[in-house]
Amino acid sequence: MNAPDPQAGRRSPFDLSGRVALVTGGSVGIGAAIAAGLARAGADVAVVTHSRQDPATQAAIEAAGARYAAFQADLAALDGPGMNDLIARVEATLGPVDILVNNAGIIRREAAEQYSDEDWAAVTELNLNAVWRLSRAAAHGMLTRGHGRIVNIASLLSFQGGIRVPAYTASKHAVAGLTKALANEWGARGVTVNAIAPGYIATANTDALRADPERNRSILERIPAGRWGEAQDIAGAAVFLASGAATYVNGHVLVVDGGWLAR
């Protein structure tokens, strides 16, 4: 019989040692911050991107003492390169996926009456359909093992309508709904499904807003924190939802917005 681990009761509930995390869109912005945060909490991290890898993300993960692996996949296509066997490739490299962070997403801006079907399809395929497909694929192993954490990236536009972003708004409303639907089915089987709704975060997706003096001013005036969020502000929420500290948190959309929705 193995002797009990004397440190087991002293471990932080946020400790992810021995876990394997998969983060989509994990080479830049919010995804990179989440990937590094999970590594600092002890998880080994696989990062998925459409094309380029960021050496800084790899360096941050390895500096935390975690294993790093990078994979390319076209998440927006049902039969896209690298998509169908993505979970299998990750698990062959790092081991069973315990944590899935569905972060990859895009935004296309245009007046609703001029919004093209091509832009609508591109946004919904990546922001919604890829979340569904990867969650389903990862859940097979998680449910068999009786443990897993799925964290989706929603948005303030899971609650609001926004301006000139009809496809993004529709997709993020749907991500919130899908999060709750999967939580209902899988929660009793050891797999929690939650989402994070970032507020206005300084990333490439918000460059256009920050470059517009009027929009930038109106946004800042409404945020009680008085600043745009940073990608790192989302990392702690992701670590929490991926950890044992959130065992009884399921089907929740955690807003991290500096107080925007409270205004």
What's the first-to-final CA gap in the chain, in angstroms? 57
Rounded Cα distance between 109 and 104, Å, is 17
Sign of the alpha-carbon torsion through 153, 158, 164, 168: positive
- Concerning whether 168 is annotated as a catalytic residue, the answer is yes
Of the residues 68, 115, 168, 200, only one is catalytic, namely: 168
Contact 259, 224 (CB under 8 A): yes
Rounded Cα distance between 158 and 88, Å, is 31
Rounded Cα distance between 35 and 239, Å, is 9
| Lookup result for tokens 């500290």 | 245
Rounded Cα distance between 199 and 155, Å, is 7
Contact 203, 219 (CB under 8 A): no
SS3 of residue 110 by DSSP: coil
Instruction: At 19, list the tokens.
Output: 């876990």
Query: Which amino acids are annotated catalytic?
Result: 168
